[in-house]
Structure 1
Amino acid sequence: MKIAFTGKGGSGKSTMAALFVQYLRTAGHRVLAVDADVNVHLAPLLGVTARAAGALSHPDNVRDVRTHLLGGNTRIAGVEHFVATTPPGPGSRLVGLDARDPLVARHATALDERTHVMHVGTYEAKDIGSGCYHGHLAILENLLSHLDPADDGWVVCDMVAGTDAFANTLHAQFDVIVVVAEPTPESVSVARRYRELAGAAGVADAVVIVGNKVADQMDLDYLRSALGVPPMAFLGLQAGLRRARQAGAPPRPEDLDDASALARIAEHAAGRSPSAGHREELLRTLHLRMAGKGWVRAAHGDVTAQLGPVPAGAAPGH
């Protein structure tokens, strides 16, 4: 199960993601937590120091991850021809969600034997004036698209804030996308826009809204009215959580007055049965769109050959 947390910056999405990781961890699930926010908040919230050399987007790590994923896939001319949308093919190596997998062993920090944390990285001084965080996220796209579908663990990703996920394939990579919304016009506008773009992108059914910092019934009514749909779950102001954070302690479900929102998210995700065929069609369409870009053709040649045969029942041109 792959679940992402996003929302307006400051909405509490990173804290919500950290709480959810700890909730799953306490319940005994295997969890791979991925910090994919440029601000790198999830890893520290889980007690992990996010060093630049350990970031997935570090050039040495990018090459290591792609070399491993490539395996014996002859549809890809070489590791240098990986693009963000490159799909797995015959001979590719798929990724598991614990330290038995070489990539997890090499690039994740273990909280315990069943819970591991990766981080994509952030801007470094050398990137000033010339870097783009979307480029950093390409290696995460590769990793997500090569996850073993038979693995029964959880991937929990703290995504970039706002609607940036629609600039790449991340919106199509997750089974559930939790948009965290505060009862403010700015936060609600991001959540509404996310739902609109999700509808246009064909992933509307993956998106749920979770309210945060809800002080009273008026806040909850405001969210329902302004969003046009009721939040699937919500958290209150959570003074106990704030005190724990002020003391420097990682957020934990036991800091909450009521952890039922975390249980509701888990139940919703576990009850979903996303269509693998629909996701494959979406990712295939996005790869063809990427393949048509001039800079991709100049740098990598024709990458359409990285796709396999058109799946039965797919629309023409997909």
Structure 2
Amino acid sequence: MKIAFTGKGGSGKSTLAALFVGHLRATGQRVLAIDADVNVHLAPLLGVVAGAETALSHPDNVRRVRSHLLGSNPRVAGVEHFVATTPPGPGSHLVTLDETDPVLAGHATRLDDAAHVLHVGTYEAKDIGSGCYHGHLAILENLLSHVSLQAEDWVVCDMVAGTDAFANSLHAQFDVIVVVAEPTPESLSVARRYRELAEAAGVGDVVAVVGNKVADDTDRDYLARELGGEPLATLTNQAGLRRARQSGVPPRPADLDDDGALTAIAAHARGREMSGERRDALMRTLHLRMAQKGWVRSAHGDVSTQLAEV
């Protein structure tokens, strides 16, 4: 199961993602947590120091990861011909959640035998005036399209805020996308727009909205009215969680008054894995769109040949 958390900046998406990772660990699941937010909040919330040298988007790490994923795939001429939507092919190496997996062993921080954390990275001083975070996310897109999960495995990703996932293939890479929404006009406008874009992209059924920082019944009624229905779950303002954060301690499900929202998200997600055929069709469309871009053709040639013939 691949699940992502997004929403307006400040909605609590990173904290909810960290709590959900804690919930999965407590229930015995194998988890790969990925911090893909430019602000790099999830990793520290899980107690991980996220440095530039260990970021997935560090050029040396990009090359190492892509070299591993490439394997002996004859459809890709070399790591320099990987684009964000390059699919696995014959001879490709897939990433697993086994702690001996080369990508996890070489690039992830181990929390325990069953839980690891990766972080994509953020802007560095050298990127000022010339960097784009979407370029950093290409290696994440590669990893997600080459991951192989067992039945009780989870990838939990804290995504970029807002609707940036529609600028690349991330909206098509997850089985469930949780949009975290506060009971404010600004936060709910992001949630509604996210659902609209997801429908247009053919993944409307993947999106679920969770209300956060809900104070009272007025807030609940406001969420339901503005969303056109009840959210999947709601979390109230949590004093215990706030005290934990103020003391600098990573948040835990035990800091919540109850973990009903976390349980509801897990229950909603189970059984909603996207079929391989549907995922392949979505990614094929996005790859062909990528292949038509002038800069891609100039830098990489005709990458449409990376697809299997149909």
TM over 0.5: yes
Q: Describe the superposition over 1:134-182 as per-residue Cα deviations: whole angstroms up to 9, x where unpaired.
A: 0000000000000015464100000000000000000000000000000
- Displacement after TM superposition at 1:276 (Å): 1.7
CA-CA distance at 1:79 after TM superposition: 0.8
Q: Matches of 2:288 and 2:108 in 1, distance apart?
A: 31
The alpha-carbon deviation at position 229 of structure 1 amounts to 2.2
The answer on whether the counterparts of 1:32 and 1:98 sit within 8 Å (CA) in structure 2 is: no
SS for the counterpart of 1:117 is: strand
| Counterpart-to-counterpart distance in 2, 1:222 and 1:13 | 20
Cα deviations by residue, 1:239-286 (Å, 9 ceiling, x for unpaired): 110011101110000000111100000011113142221111010000
Residue aligning to 2:52 = 52
TM-score, structure 2 length as denominator? 0.99
Give how far 1:230 is off: 1.1
- Tell me which residue corresponds to 2:68: 68
RMSD of aligned alpha carbons: 0.8
Taking the aligned partners of 1:104 and 1:48, their CA distance within structure 2 comes to 14
SS at the partner of 1:212? strand
TM-score, structure 1 as length reference: 0.96
State whether residues 32 and 155 of structure 2, in contact with CA within 8 Å, keep that contact through their aligned partners in structure 1: yes
**CA distance in structure 2 between the partners assigned to 1:81 and 1:271 by the alignment:** 35
Percent of aligned positions with the same letter in both sequences? Answer: 75
CA distance in 1, matches of 2:21, 2:149: 20
* Secondary structure of 1:28 counterpart: coil
Q: In structure 2, how many angstroms separate the alpha carbons of the residues matched to 1:283 and 1:111?
A: 32
- Tell me if structure 2 keeps the 8 A contact 1:182–1:214: yes
Trace 1:61-210 onto structure 2 (pairs within 5 A). 61-150=61-150, 152-210=152-210
Q: Which amino acid aligns with 1:239?
A: A
Structure 2 residue 40 is the aligned partner of structure 1 residue 4: no
- What residue identity is the alignment partner of 1:43? A
Matched to 2:154, the amino acid is W
Runs of 4 or more consecutive aligned structure 1 residues displaced over 3 Å after TM superposition: 149-152
Where 2:157 maps in the other structure, the secondary structure is: strand
Q: Distance in 2 between matches of 1:11 and 1:264?
A: 19
Instruction: For 2:99 and 2:131, locate their aligned partners in 1 and report how far apart those are by CA, in whole Å.
Output: 32
Aligned to 1:314: none
Aligned counterparts, 1:22-37, within 5 A: 22-37=22-37
Provide structure 1 residue ranges, at least 5 long, that are not aligned to the other structure. Answer: 311-318
Segments of 5+ residues of structure 2 without an aligned counterpart are none
